[in-house]
Amino acid sequence: MTAKIAYGDVEVGAELPAQTFPVTRATLVQYAGASGDFNPIHWNEKFAKEVGLPDVIAHGMFTMAEAIRVVTDWTGDPAAVVEYGVRFTKPVVVPNDDQGATIEVSGKVAAKLDDNKVRVDLIVKSAGQKVLGMSRAVVQLA
Amino acid sequence: MALDQSFVGRSYPPTDPYEVGREKIREFAEAVGDINPAYLDPEAAKALGHSDVIAPPTFVFAISFKAAGQVIADPQLGLDYSRVVHGDQKFAYSRPVRAGDRLTVTSTIEAIKSMAGNEILDIRGEVHDEAGEHVVTAWTKLVARGADSEEGEA
Of the candidates A25, A125, A62, A71, the residue with the CA atom closest to the CA atom of residue B86: A62
How far is A3 from A79, CA to CA, in rounded Å? Answer: 8
CA distances from A131 to A62, A87, A88, A103 (A): 12, 9, 6, 9
Note whether A121 and A135 are within 8 A (CB): yes
pLDDT digits (tens, 9 = 90+) for B113-132: 998 889 999 999 999 999 99
For A87-100, how does the pLDDT look when each residue is reduced to its tens digit (9 = 90+)? 999 999 999 998 99
* Residue A78's pLDDT band (cuts 50, 70, 90): very high
Does residue A61 sit in helix, strand or coil?
helix
As a whole number of angstroms, the distance between CA A103 and CA A23 comes to 7
pLDDT of residue A98: 87
Q: Which of A2, A34, A73 sits opposite B31 (nearest CB)?
A: A34
Domain boundaries, chain B: 5-20+57-144
Helix (H, G, I), strand (E, B) or coil at B145: coil
**ipTM over cut 0.90:** yes
Question: In A5-72, where do the E strands start and end?
Answer: 15-23
Helix (H) or strand (E) holding A103: strand A101-112
Residue type, A12: V
pLDDT at A20 over 70: yes
CATH, range B5-20+57-144: 3.10.129.10
Distance between CA A112 and CA A116 in Å, rounded? Answer: 8
Q: Which domains does chain A have, with CATH numbers?
A: 7-22+59-140 (3.10.129.10)
What is the C-alpha separation between A112 and B77, in angstroms, rounded? Answer: 42
CA distance B60 to A68: 14
CA B138, CA B126: separation in Å to the nearest integer? 7
When mean pLDDT is compared across A34-38, B115-119, B125-129, B138-142, the lowest value belongs to: B115-119
CA dihedral A122→A127→A128→A132, nearest 10 degrees, is -30
Chain B contacts of A61, Cβ < 8 Å? Answer: 58, 61, 86, 89
- CB contacts under 8 A, A 82-121 vs B, are 82-91
Q: Identify the residue with better confidence: A1 or B89.
A: B89
Residue A1's pLDDT is 67
For A27, the closest chain B residue by CA position comes to B31
Q: What is the DSSP string of B21-35?
A: -HHHHHHHHHHTT--
Is the Cβ–Cβ distance between B128 and B67 less than 8 Å?
no
For A60, the closest of B48, B56, B153 (CB atoms) is B153
The predicted pLDDT at position B148 comes to 55
User: What is the mean pLDDT of the segment spanning A103-129?
Assistant: 98
Strand extents, DSSP E, chain B: 18-19, 84-93, 102-115, 118-128, 134-144
* Mean pLDDT of all residues in B138-152: 76
With beta carbons under 8 A apart, name residues in chain A contacting B28.
Answer: 34-35
| Residue B81, pLDDT above cutoff 90 | no
Cα–Cα distance measured from residue B67 to residue B72, given in angstroms and rounded to the nearest whole number: 9
